[in-house]
Structure 1
Amino acid sequence: MENGQGQAGNIDHLDYGCQLISEIYGKPDIVEWTNGDFIRLSHILYKKTHVQISPNTLKRIFGKIKTDARYYPQRATRDALANYIGYPNWDTFKVAKPLPPPQQAVVHIPVNPLPVHTMAPGGGQVVSGKTSVPRKYAWKILAGLLVLIILIGVAEYYATMNVPPVAAPEMVCRNPEGGNPHSAFFAFKGIDQVTESPDRFRIEFGDGKTFTLADTDSVISHYYEEPGRYLAYLKKNKQVFDSAAVYLKSAGWTATARMMHDSTRVYPIQVTDLFLGNRNTVNAAEVARAGVDTNRTFFVDFINTQPTDINGDNFDLITKVRTSPDRAGVRCSQVKLTVYGEWSQHYIDVMKPGCLHWCKLQFSEIVRNGRTHGLNFLGADLREGGTIRLRVENKRAQIHINGKLVYETAYQRPLNRIYGLGVMFSGVGTIESVTLTDLKTGKAFDGNF
C-alpha cells in the first residue's frame, strides 16, 4: 500500500479531489462531516462506481483519522474517486484538473521586547520577568503533556473505529423498467436513522413531482405517464442520499399532449404510421380528440425511448423542425430537444426572441435558464422551418442553429449510454427529420427518419 511520504504533490491533488467530492456530495465543509456522512458516501460511491470503499478508509483519505504519514490510497480506489467526480481514472483527473495556483502566504514575525535590565544595589543587574521553572521540572511537565496527548489521540481513534455503524438511507426501485404508463415502486431503508435534522426526507421523481416521506414509510409507488428515463432522488435539506433510475420504453415514436397548469394528467394521441412516409406531425383535430382544449396553451411531446449503443458524450444530433404557427394559446413557438442519458440528460429550449425569459438548457450537471443567465443565443423563430444541431465530443457540447455555432460548453459528469430522444412543441409543430449518430462508431439511432 502506498503512503503519503515523499508524495507532497500527490497528496495535494488528493486533497483537491476530496474537496471536489465534498461539493458534489452537497457538504463542501469537510470539517463538519459526521460518521454518517462517510457511511452514506461509501454507499453512493459503490452504487456509482461498483468499487467498495469502507467508511473508515474514506476517513483516512479525507484526513479525518490521523496517521504518522498521510494516507494515500491504492490506484483502484483513486480511480473510483475520479470516476465519481466525472473522469475515467485518476491520471486523467490530474491532467484535466491541475491544482489551483497556491496563494502567497503572508508571514507575520512577532516582535518580542528585549528583557529590561535594571541596576541592583551593589552594581549588579536584575532581569525583569517571571522566575524560570527549573529545567528538570520543565521536562517532566512536557513529558506528561505528551503522554496525555497520545492517550487522548488513541482514545479518539478507537472511539471512531468502534462507533456502531448507522445504516445509510437507501432507496431502491423494485421495478425500474416498464412500458407507458408505468407504476414504479420505491423501497426505503434507514430513513429513520438520520436524526441530524428534524426535516423529513423527500423524493423528487424526475418528472416534476415530489413526495414527502414519513419515518414509517417503507414502500411507496409513483405513476409515470410518458416514455422517458427519469432520475429519482432521495433528499433531505437539499442533500442527496440516494438515487434510482426509472425507464419507460416506447415502441417507436409516440405523441402525447399536455396542458399548461394541468399537472394531473397527460393526453396520449392515437396516430398510426407516425414519422413514416409524410406523417411528420399531428394536427389540432387529433389533439382535440385526445381530450385537449386547443383554445388554451398546450404542448405536444414526440418521444422515442429505446436503449442504444450511442455514447451520450460523443454524438451528433441534427433535427429539422417547423414550430407551431400562431394560434390560440401559442405565443412563443417553442421547441425543446432532449437526449436521455444513463444518469443525466441534455436538453435545450429554442423560442422566438421575445420569449427568451423562458428558455432553459442542460448539459449533464450544467443547468442554465433565461431568467438569470441571459440565453439570448437560443432565440430563433422557426415557424418557417430551421435546423437545430447538438454535437457533443468528449463531453464538450455545441449548439448550432440554422448552421451557425451559437454556444459551446464543457461538462464533467458523463451521460454514458443514450436511452432515447424527445422533441416537444408548444402547439402543433412538425419534425421533418431526425439524425442521431455516434461520433466514434458511426452507429445510427433506430428512430432516425
Structure 2
Amino acid sequence: MSDSGNKETHTFFELLDYCVAEILKKMGGLPLAEWRSGNYTTLSTRIGKDTKVYLSENTLRRLLGTLKTSNRYYPQKATRDVLAQFIGYRDWQELERFYRETKNAREATAQESQIVLTEKPVKGRRKLFIVLAASVALFLLVFITLIRFRHNTPVQVKLICINPFGTVPHSAIFRLQADKDFDHDEKFQLDLAEEATKSEISGNKQVTKFFKNPGVVYATLFHNGKAIDTASVFMQTKGWVANSGNDTSRAFPVIGLKKLDPKNIYVSPRQLDSAGLDTEKPFMVGFSNIKPSHINGDNFSFHCKVFSEKDRPGTQCVGTAILILGSKDKHVINLFRKSCAAFCDYKFSDVKELGTNKDLSALAFDPENGGEVIINVQNKMAFVLLNNKRVLTVKYNKSIGEVMGIKILFNGIGRAISPELTDLLTGERF
C-alpha cells in the first residue's frame, strides 16, 4: 500500500512509527542500525511470551523498516493488535484512540501559543499568561480523562476459580464475584500468560480453561487495561514427572506421567520417541513436582545439579530453566552456555531482568559438564550460586506465597540430580 497523497494512510504510518519507537524503548533503546538477527529473535520471543503470538523475523524486519519493500509495509489488523498489546494496550484501536487524543491536546496547545506570537506586543505578556494557563488546564483535563479511561476499575470485583486444584488434564472454571452489586454485562479480560489464550469474562459468564501440563497457572483479571485481581490453578503430580513437546504450548506426558527417580531425573530419546515426540525438530523436556506445602516461598534453600545438551539440530542455544512456583507468583532463572549468555534472564516475583538489557553472563555454565545450582531466599532477598560461586543477588518486594511446585525445563534432553528445597525457618522439605 502506498503512503503518498493519502492523509488517512499518512496518519496510520505516523502512529505505526510511534508504536515502533515504543517497542525499541521496551527492548532497551538499541538503535535499529545496530540490530542483528539475534535481536529480532529476542523480540519475537518476548512478543510471544506477552501476547501468545509469535511474529517471524521477516515480519519484524518489515515492521521496523529494516527490510526494504517497494511500498511501505502495512500490517494486517491481527498483527497491529499484537504490537499494541506488546506496548501495553488492549488492541490497536485503544492505542489509536490514546494517541489521537494526546495529539489533539498537543496541537491545541501549539495553536494557542501561535496566537500569542501573532498578537501585538502591547498585550503580549498578559495574553501569553492567559493562553498558557488555558493550555495547561486543557492538558490536565485530557490527561486526567485518559487516566480515568484507562484505570477506572471496579476494585470490588474479584476473580474466583471454582476448582483450583486438579491433576493433568484439568478444566478450571473461572467466574467473577463482588461484595456489592455491579453491572453484570461489564466486560473484563482474563489473562493466563503463556498457558492459555486471553478471554473476555463478565458477571453473567463463566470461562473454562483446559490445562494439560503439570504446574501452577497464574490468572490475572483486567479491567480497562489495569490488573485488578489474580487467582491460581494447581495441576498436581505424584512426585517428579516428565512432559515434553515441540513448543511450550503443546507439551504432553512422557511415559504416562509416571513417577521418576528424584536422585536422577531423566528421560531417554527412546522414551521421547515412544511418546510421539518429533526429536528432529526443536523440542523441550520439562520435569515437574507439584503439590501443596507450607514452605515459605520467601525463605527457603534450593539445591540441584543440572546437565543439558550443548546444542542440537535447529537449536544453537539450549537453555535450562529452574522455576520455584508459589501460590501467588514464581521465581525463575534461565541458564545458557557462555556464548548464548544474551538469552539468560531471571524473575524473582515482581523483579525481572533480561540478558539483552544487562550483562547476565555470570548465569552461564557448561551444560555438558553440569552446573550445581543453589537458590537461597531470605526475607525476599534472593542469592543464586552456580558451581559454588555467587552469581546473582536480587531484592524483590511481593511475596510469592507458599511453595506449590518446582519445574526444571530443558530445550532438548537434560538431566536433574537430586533437587531439594527446604524451608529455612521450619526445616520442612518439599
Q: TM-score, normalised by structure 1?
A: 0.57
**1:404 paired to 2:392:** no
Q: Which amino acid aligns with 2:416?
A: I
Secondary structure in structure 1 of the residue aligned to 2:339 = helix
Residue 47 of structure 1 corresponds to which residue in structure 2?
A: none
Residue 259 of structure 1 corresponds to which residue in structure 2?
A: 246
Superposed counterparts of 1:330-345, under 5 Å:
330-345=315-330
Superposed counterparts of 1:38-187, under 5 Å:
168-187=156-175
* Equivalent pair of 1:436/1:444 in contact (CA under 8 Å): yes
Report deviation, 1:423: 0.5
**1:349 paired to 2:337:** no
Structure 1 CA distance for aligned equivalents of residues 364 and 184 of structure 2:
46
* Equivalent pair of 2:196/2:209 in contact (CA under 8 Å): no
Report Cα offsets for 1:196-223 as digits up to 9, x if no partner: xx9x532112444332316575101001
* Equivalent pair of 2:285/2:409 in contact (CA under 8 Å): yes
Report deviation, 1:185: 0.5
* Equivalent pair of 2:306/2:370 in contact (CA under 8 Å): yes
Residue 293 of structure 1 corresponds to which residue in structure 2?
A: 278
Q: Which amino acid aligns with 1:179?
A: T
Aligned sequence identity (%): 29
Distance 1:417-1:335 versus aligned 2 partners, 3 A rule: same
Structure 2 CA distance for aligned equivalents of residues 176 and 238 of structure 1:
25
Superposed counterparts of 1:418-433, under 5 Å:
418-433=403-418
Superposed counterparts of 1:262-281, under 5 Å:
263=249, 265-270=250-255, 272=258, 274-275=260-261, 279-281=264-266
1:220 to 202, 207, 227: 207
Residue 58 of structure 1 corresponds to which residue in structure 2?
A: none
* Equivalent pair of 1:166/1:193 in contact (CA under 8 Å): no
Distance 1:194-1:362 versus aligned 2 partners, 3 A rule: farther
Q: TM-score, normalised by structure 2?
A: 0.59
Report deviation, 1:242: 1.9
Secondary structure in structure 1 of the residue aligned to 2:357 = helix
4+ residue runs over 4 A deviation: 189-192, 214-217
Report Cα offsets for 1:405-441 as digits up to 9, x if no partner: 0110111112231111111111000112212111122
Structure 1 CA distance for aligned equivalents of residues 322 and 157 of structure 2:
35
Residue 328 of structure 1 corresponds to which residue in structure 2?
A: 313
Residue 366 of structure 1 corresponds to which residue in structure 2?
A: 351
* Equivalent pair of 2:310/2:317 in contact (CA under 8 Å): no
Report Cα offsets for 1:338-380 as digits up to 9, x if no partner: 1111211111000012223322211111122222233222222
1:414 to 399, 423, 426: 399
Q: Which amino acid aligns with 2:198?
A: F
* Equivalent pair of 2:284/2:412 in contact (CA under 8 Å): yes
Report Cα offsets for 1:139-186 as digits up to 9, x if no partner: xxxxxxxxxxxxxxxxxxxxxxxxxx9783332111111111110011
1:188 to 176, 179, 204: 176
Residue 299 of structure 2 corresponds to which residue in structure 1?
A: 314
* Equivalent pair of 2:161/2:175 in contact (CA under 8 Å): yes
Structure 2 CA distance for aligned equivalents of residues 276 and 308 of structure 1:
18
Distance 1:375-1:201 versus aligned 2 partners, 3 A rule: farther
Distance 1:201-1:253 versus aligned 2 partners, 3 A rule: same
Structure 1 CA distance for aligned equivalents of residues 155 and 384 of structure 2:
44
Structure 1 CA distance for aligned equivalents of residues 190 and 343 of structure 2:
26
* Equivalent pair of 1:321/1:433 in contact (CA under 8 Å): no
Report Cα offsets for 1:267-324 as digits up to 9, x if no partner: 21016551257x5310112112212110111011100011123211111111111112
* Equivalent pair of 2:188/2:222 in contact (CA under 8 Å): yes
Structure 1 CA distance for aligned equivalents of residues 226 and 386 of structure 2:
37
**1:238 paired to 2:225:** yes
* Equivalent pair of 1:324/1:330 in contact (CA under 8 Å): no
* Equivalent pair of 2:303/2:373 in contact (CA under 8 Å): yes
Structure 1 CA distance for aligned equivalents of residues 292 and 196 of structure 2:
25
Report Cα offsets for 1:383-416 as digits up to 9, x if no partner: 1112011011111101111110011011111223
Secondary structure in structure 1 of the residue aligned to 2:273 = helix
Structure 1 CA distance for aligned equivalents of residues 419 and 397 of structure 2:
27
Structure 2 CA distance for aligned equivalents of residues 346 and 399 of structure 1:
11
Structure 2 CA distance for aligned equivalents of residues 282 and 241 of structure 1:
41
Structure 1 CA distance for aligned equivalents of residues 259 and 219 of structure 2:
33
**1:211 paired to 2:211:** no
Give 5+ residue unaligned stretches, structure 2. Answer: 1-152
Q: Which amino acid aligns with 2:169?
A: P
* Equivalent pair of 1:361/1:368 in contact (CA under 8 Å): yes
Give 5+ residue unaligned stretches, structure 1. Answer: 1-164
**1:248 paired to 2:208:** no
- How many residues align? The count is 275
* Equivalent pair of 1:325/1:428 in contact (CA under 8 Å): no
Distance 1:378-1:178 versus aligned 2 partners, 3 A rule: same
Residue 114 of structure 1 corresponds to which residue in structure 2?
A: none
